[in-house]
Structures are given as C-alpha cells and as structure tokens.
Amino acid sequence: MLIDIALATYNGEKYIQEMLNSISNQTYQDFMIHLRDDGSTDNTLTLCENHKLYEQGKLKIYKDNIKGLGASKNFLKILGHCNSEYIFLCDQDDFWMKDKIQKMLDHIQKHEYKNNIKVPTLVFSDLQIVDRSLNIIADSFYRNSIKSSMCSSPFDFLLSNHIPGCAMVVNKSLLESIQPLPENFRMHDWWLAFVASFYGKIAYLDEPLIKYRQHGGNTVGVPGMNINILRQIKSILNFRDLLDKGLLHKKKMEIYIDKTCSNKILSYESNRFYDFLKGNMPFLEKNKIFKQIKFGEPLILSYLVWLFL
C-alpha cells in the first residue's frame, strides 16, 4: 500500500540529505515523498534532485513561482498533492528511526475505527530531542516538555498545540475534514490535531520514532523544558498575548464547526466543547473542566486566560 510523505523545504541544505537518507532506509518502502520548496536561496533543491530517492521516482518536487509562504502554508500546499490513505508529515531537518513508518502505520490502522466506522484519525509518536549533530539531549520529548502526550480532547488544543507535525501520521478521512481552513490559523499541524480531536480520534504511540533536531534555524522547537515556579510566575507577562490568541482560535473553531457539523453525530466531549464555544457553559462547569484540560502552557497563565475565555 502506497503512503504519502509531505515534505516542506526552505534553505535546508545543511540537513536535507541526512533526512532523505533516513527515509530511504525505512523498513517500509512503499512511499512517495511530495516536496515543495518555499523559495530556497541555497542548494536545497539541487541536493534533492541529486538524491537517489528522486532518481528512483520516490520523490516528487513541485515547482511554482510562489515564494515566502511560510512553513504552514507551504505544508498545506503539499498536502493538496497527497491522495493516499495515510499521510506522514516531514520536516527537512529531522531524522526518522528506520521503523517509524511501519510502526505508525500499524498503529493508525488499529485505531482509526469508531463503532466500525472509519473516522478522521491522527496518530503521533514520542520524539528523541537531539542537537544539530544528532547527539541526544533528552530521550523523550513528552517527558521533558510542557506539552502532553495525553492530549485528545478539543479543549486540549484551544491555547496551544501538543503534537509536532513531524511526529504525525493522519488518514485520508482527516485530511478531507480540515476544510474550510481558517484564515491565518497559526500552524497546519495544530489545525489537524484540533479537527481530529473534535470529529475523530487521536492515538499516541509511546516510543520515540524521530530524532527531533534542535538548532538555531528551527521554525518551532521544544517548548517549556525545565519550567519551574519562577518561570510559571514570569509567564503571566504573556497573559494578553495568550488571551488574544485563545479568543481568536475560539472564534475560528466556532465558525469552522458551524459550517461542518450539520447532520454529524458529535461525541459527548465535542458537544461540551461546542457549548463552550457558544458561551453556553456555566461557570462551575467551566471551572470543573479546567482541571481536566492539558493546556500545553504554564498552569498559572493558563488558568488566568481560561477565566476570560
């Protein structure tokens, strides 16, 4: 069964060959990489066109005259070329464990049904945090970050995303469910996770299957490592920014659901979230839910923001 890999590039010459080599060495070999470059000024495209995967016909490169879209919009353009039943997202600077595709494919096939119906599904794995030379900084992203591997409710994705795109595999049903996309929603992987949590399922594979490289050029790195009480208190300075972001996301999520939920049976949790978006949730119920949410932001800051949402 052919699976698709969406790869967005921009000035990635330093690590792209190592990334492609790790895909080439996968135990599962029935894949197609869909690559779009966002206007690199280095040798990224030349290196990709000279790679054996391109010569083998396993790497398609899409070229146009549009530059500077940014990581999120670049990924969304690539996803438009992905038609297989399962789609992996890939960053240009990471490194995949050799059995990443096989293990994640097995996992999503076990979890994508609810009451014998295939639903929009996202599976994600843990990540090993490494430096630019792939030396290990931490064995587990989720045991060393403020983000939670237990995220599964739409409430968990209101203020922040817990799941790096490079750790995801999604099914075609989820990809078909993300439209209509909100204008300027911050990141593609965040939106995929939210839609999966609202209309389908999210499942976690508790094993690091990717080396998540940290360096000065990362679009997004590892958030909230070694956060202590002093950092918790200092985080309050970000109250206005996080509140504005939460209110904006709340409105965009409400508009999306209004356009897509007719004739759909929602889960109890999704119905609760929709009531919250519509302002139909009593304060005591809202306070009770707070204790269950994985915000992915400092706790004190999250509670203050939650009171005003």
- Tell me which range, 128-132, 216-220, 228-232, is most confidently predicted by mean pLDDT: 128-132
| Tens-digit pLDDT profile for residues 17-52 | 999 999 999 999 999 999 999 999 999 999 999 999
- Residue 61 burial (CB < 10 Å; 0-12/13-18/19+)? middle
Indicate the average pLDDT of the chain. 93
- In percent, the amount of the chain with pLDDT more than 70 equals 95
For the chain, give every domain's residue range: 3-213, 229-308
What is the pTM for the complete model shown? 0.93
Per-residue pLDDT reduced to its tens digit, 168-217? 999 999 999 999 888 778 799 999 999 999 999 999 999 999 999 997 65
- Topology annotation, domain 3-213: Spore Coat Polysaccharide Biosynthesis Protein SpsA; Chain A (3.90.550)
Integer Cα distance of 272 and 255 in angstroms:
16
Residue 185 and residue 76 in contact, taking contact as beta carbons nearer than 8 Å:
no
Residues in CB range of 183: below 8 A, 6 or more apart: 252
pLDDT score at 183: 78
Q: pLDDT tens digits, residue range 127-154?
A: 999 999 999 999 999 999 999 999 999 9
